[in-house]
Amino acid sequence: MGNKSILGGLAVIVLLVGASCSGGRSPLNLGVTEGRLTPCPGSPNCVSSQATDADRRVEPLRYADDFAEARARLLEILRGMERVQIQRADDDYLHAEFRSAVFGFVDDVEFYFSPPGVIQVRSASRTGYYDFGVNRNRVERIHQIWRTNRSPASGG
């Protein structure tokens, strides 16, 4: 009984510490500077369409229709995804926060409508070092929905 109580208490402490460290404020360096999203840090928990190294590089979203339609479509996709909150929606820039299901860790996902027809994307964990591919998988999922024009709720 004593060991179970100690282990249970430790588990609660770990969960509380994890939850308290998981959110926090948005990083101050988010946004667009001189036509570029913030570069990924040295840790492997970030992907960007503007990254130069293959480990962090993802493709930007591309569109042929009207800018306003593409922006509305991207917002619809984001709003249809789980555990997301739109933080900023300017004319040419979007910032969304995604929270993990268990500990509530926050990932910042940014979109920048750069040259006509191109939407740059960056997805980065706010805390921690390794993300187990979560940011890359999220961007790939957004790409999949974008390409197939399916509702975000259908299929994952």
Superfamily of domain 2-148: Kinase associated domain 1, KA1 (3.30.310.80)
- Average pLDDT score, the chain: 85
Give the C-alpha distances (Å, rounded to integers) separating 99 from 8, 14, 102, 129: 25, 18, 9, 16
Which one-letter amino acid corresponds to residue 91?
A: D
The answer, yes or no, to whether residue 139 has pLDDT greater than 60, is yes
73-97 pLDDT, tens digit per residue, is 999 999 999 999 999 999 999 999 9
Distance of CA 82 to the CA centre of its chain: 12
How far apart CA 71 and CA 53 sit, in angstroms, is 27
Q: Where are the domains of the chain?
A: 2-148
In angstroms and rounded to an integer, the radius of gyration of the C-alpha atoms of the chain is 18
Mapped onto helix, strand or coil, the DSSP state of residue 44 is coil
- For residue 82, give the amino acid letter: E
pLDDT confidence bin for 10, thresholds 50/70/90: very low
Distance CA 16, CA 10 (A): 10
